[in-house]
């Protein structure tokens, strides 16, 4: 009888642990196009975004638009693998997480901020990274902090890539930057309407 109870307790413990881990798994917001819905669904994100905005003096709608474009708010997003003869090969870059930060740039962020425990799949860390990167682009490239289009071009191509101007011949990237501008404008309007601006 005692052995049976111990087995039942062990099974309940395992089930509880599995449910707890499932509850901790980050699911993307159900309506990523509606930033008010996103911030209502994901408690803590609004506070993290406001904190990053104040720290780096960057508008919250611009930072959120970058994350929307990069990952659609999916915590473990990665670039898709390319295929060769139907077999998946290496990913085109080490970009990962909400902000799609590469290994190298994330290390730069950790070194610059002293935030060594920062994780790319943690929303608060990722939004702070976006603010840091925008501030860096502003200081090094003289791009105004409200110029979402050029800031995104520098974010996507890197500071030296932006300086070189290769993006001028990349219609896909220029279109992506225009979509970020549109998204930041939509998010600004939505945030004002729900009182979270």
**pLDDT 10s digits, 29-87:** 999 999 999 999 998 999 999 999 999 999 999 999 999 999 999 999 876 667 666 66
* Domain residue spans of the chain: 29-193
The class (CATH top level) of 29-193 is: mainly alpha
The candidate with the shortest Cα–Cα distance to 65, out of 193, 195, 194, 190, is: 190
Q: Which residues pair with 88 in a beta bridge?
A: 83
- Chain CA centroid to CA 196, Å: 19
Beta strands 83-84 and 87-88 are antiparallel
* Dist. CA 187–CA 36, nearest whole Å: 8
Separation CA 173–CA 176 (nearest Å): 5
Q: What is the pLDDT of residues 77-99, one digit of tens each?
A: 876 667 666 666 665 577 899 99
């Amino acid at each position: 009888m005692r052995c049976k109870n111990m087995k039942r307790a062990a099974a309940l413990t395992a089930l509880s642990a599995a449910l707890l881990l499932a509850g901790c798994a980050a699911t993307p917001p159900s309506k990523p196009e509606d930033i008010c819905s996103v911030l209502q669904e994901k408690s803590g994100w609004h506070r993290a975004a406001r904190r990053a905005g104040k720290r780096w003096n960057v508008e919250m709608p611009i930072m959120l638009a970058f994350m929307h474009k990069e990952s659609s708010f999916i915590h473990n997003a990665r670039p898709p693998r390319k295929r060769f003869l139907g077999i998946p090969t290496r990913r085109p870059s080490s970009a990962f997480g909400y902000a799609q930060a590469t290994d190298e740039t994330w290390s730069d962020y950790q070194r610059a901020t002293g935030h060594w425990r920062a994780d790319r799949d943690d929303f608060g860390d990722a939004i702070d990274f976006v603010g840091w990167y925008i501030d860096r682009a502003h200081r090094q490239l003289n791009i105004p902090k409200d110029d979402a289009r050029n800031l995104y071009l520098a974010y996507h191509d890197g500071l030296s890539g932006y300086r070189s101007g290769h993006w001028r011949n990349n219609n896909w990237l220029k279109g992506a930057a225009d979509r970020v501008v549109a998204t930041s404008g939509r998010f600004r309007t939505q945030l004002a309407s729900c009182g979270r601006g």
